Amino acid sequence: MAPKKVFGIVLAGGEGKRLMPLTADRAKPAVPFGGNYRLVDFALSNLINSGLLQIVVLTQYKSHSLDRHVSQTWRLSSLTNSYVASVPAQQRLGKRWFAGSADAILQSLNLLRDEKPDIVVVVGADHVYRMDFRQMIDAHVESGAGTTVAAIRQPIELADQFGVIEVSPDDPARIAAFREKPSDASGLVDSPGQVLASMGNYVFDADRLVDAVLRDGERAESNHDMGGDIIPDFVSRGDAAVYDLNRNEVPGATDRDRYYWRDVGTIESFYDAHMDLISALPVFNLYNREWPIYSEQLNSPPAKFVRDANGNLGMLVDSIVSLGSLLSGAHVERSVLGPWATIESDARVVDSILFDRVRIGPGARVQRAILDKEVVVEPGATVGVDPQADQARGFTVTESGITVVGKGVHVA
């Protein structure tokens, strides 16, 4: 039997309103993560590590930063017809933007007609996880279904936060119902305290995907969404299978991060995912050499930690520090520092995330905060120490007290 030709589509056109102000000047998949990465790097690394070598990234809102990152970072060999290509909204069906994720695929069907794949893998661009899609593809082919939905087990009390998959009692690999954020979910037969939550990753037979998005495009009442419209359509026709992430074996995975998956679509979840990185035995392990997360290789010097001008030592503990960063007599604890961060004498940065080229002046205090690129905290200034004062200065403060400072702001 001839091997199936597989094509990858990364849905990267979302606005990311819940991540404001981090998405004020960039698409959500382009938001920096973990120091040296962008959110889109996790989806692309998983696809590349799984052996997919023809991938498109469908973009739309504020896409310049994302398009530039894809073009500079994800260069594959043209000699083998391997590529990762950023494809903006082309308005092939009229002068309109994508009306939803399914409409994005509908307006990009020329890509499938050009490549003529047998299988199409469709993934989101704003989740942090590892997954071998080749194993899911094999399970999809074996199932005979038109689509297979990747699912991760979640506590039943969190069911109202996810799209929940209910399986057929006669065939636990088939989806009997797909319910959006149910308040009355039933637990799994083999684990009553858990439900199967959709990961937003799908495998399709190419011809059945084309048929589904064409029919969806004709439905005026549709929201043209993959999870909200296309998958329920497959389920209603008994043509949808489920792939439990528990079946997936990623090389080099640890027991602690084997089935890790986070949707980082809110400031709270984005912050929590960073805190998952910094323990001695991290909940998500960036150091898996057998399944690396790829990103842009910065032409930068190593990070440097020195005494200040008065010979005072700083402290750095439980933190990630990126290339080009300089800490001079500063105290950094439980934080993630992006490239070229500078933290000066007697400054304290605790429980915080700093993006590229952030500068913290002498004696400044940053606590439980996210600082976007090129933020300058002037000598003696504070961020996150007094959330009410931060709000009065116009900074975003979440319900749990995380302060977010937008790109290029000077904190006096």
| Residue 191 DSSP symbol | B
Q: To the nearest whole number, what is the mean pLDDT of the chain?
A: 91
> What are the φ and ψ backbone dihedral angles of 204, each rounded to 5 degrees?
-125, 145
What is the three-state SS of 47-65? HHHCCCCEEEEEECCCCHH
Q: Taking a C-beta distance cutoff of 8 angstroms, is the pair 398, 404 a contact?
A: yes
Contact between 137 and 25 (Cβ < 8 Å): no
- Phi, then psi, of 376 in degrees rounded to 5: -120, 120
Left if phi > 0, otherwise alpha if psi is -120 to 50, otherwise beta: which for 57?
Answer: beta
Is 80 exceeded by the pLDDT of residue 379? yes
Checking if the pLDDT of 91 tops 80, the result is no
- 46: Cα within 13 Å, side-chain hemisphere: 28
Torsions phi, psi for 27 (to 5 deg): -70, 155
CATH of 6-275, picked from 3.40.50.1370, 3.40.470.10, 3.90.550.10, 3.90.700.10, is 3.90.550.10
For residue 92, the model assigns a pLDDT of 65
More confident: 333 or 161: 333
Binding site, residues? 163, 180-181, 198
- 136 near 4, Cβ under 8 Å? no
**CATH 2.160.10.10 residue ranges for the chain:** 304-411
| Closest to 165 (Cα-Cα) out of 227, 224, 242 | 242
Average pLDDT of the residues in 160-179: 87
How do strand 359-360 and strand 376-377 relate by DSSP bridges? parallel
Task: Pick the closest to residue 118 from 52, 174, 58 (CA basis).
Answer: 52
Q: Which residue has the higher pLDDT, 162 or 96?
A: 162
**H-assigned helices in 243-401:** 267-275, 387-392
Distance (Å, whole) CA 25 – CA 186:
41
Q: Where in the chain is the domain with CATH 3.90.550.10?
A: 6-275
Task: Tell me 318's DSSP state.
Answer: S
* Predicted local confidence at residue 311, as pLDDT: 86
Q: Is the pLDDT of residue 211 over 90?
A: yes
Contact status, residue 382 vs residue 399, Cβ threshold 8 Å: no
In angstroms, rounded to a whole number, what is the distance separating the alpha carbons of residues 126 and 105? 18
Before 21, cis peptide (omega within 30)? yes
H or E stretch at 33: strand 32-33
Cα torsion angle, 213, 218, 219, 220, sign: positive
pLDDT in tens, 3-56: 789 999 999 877 778 899 999 989 899 999 999 999 999 999 999 999 999 999
Burial class (CB in 10 A: 0-12, 13-18, 19+), 99: middle
pLDDT single digits (tens) 268-287: 999 999 999 998 888 999 99
Inform me whether the pLDDT recorded for 1 exceeds 60. Answer: no
Q: Is 57 in a helix, a strand, or coil? A: strand
Which CATH architecture fits 304-411? 3 Solenoid (2.160)
Percent of the chain whose pLDDT exceeds 90: 67
> How confident is the model over 213-250, as pLDDT tens digits?
999 888 888 888 898 899 999 999 999 999 999 999 99
Tokens of 152: 């991760």
HSE-CB for 170 with a 13 A CA cutoff: 2
Measure the CA angle with vertex 143, ends 139 and 148; round to 5°: 70
pLDDT at 223: 86
Report the binding-site residues for alpha-D-glucose 1-phosphate. Answer: 163, 180-181, 198
Identify the residue whose tokens are 């889109």: 40
Separation of first and last alpha carbons in the chain: 67
Edge to edge, what strands does the sheet with 376-377 contain?
304-306, 326-328, 342-343, 359-360, 376-377, 410-411
pLDDT per position as a tens digit, 97-140: 677 888 899 988 999 999 999 999 999 998 999 999 999 999 99
pLDDT score, position 298: 80
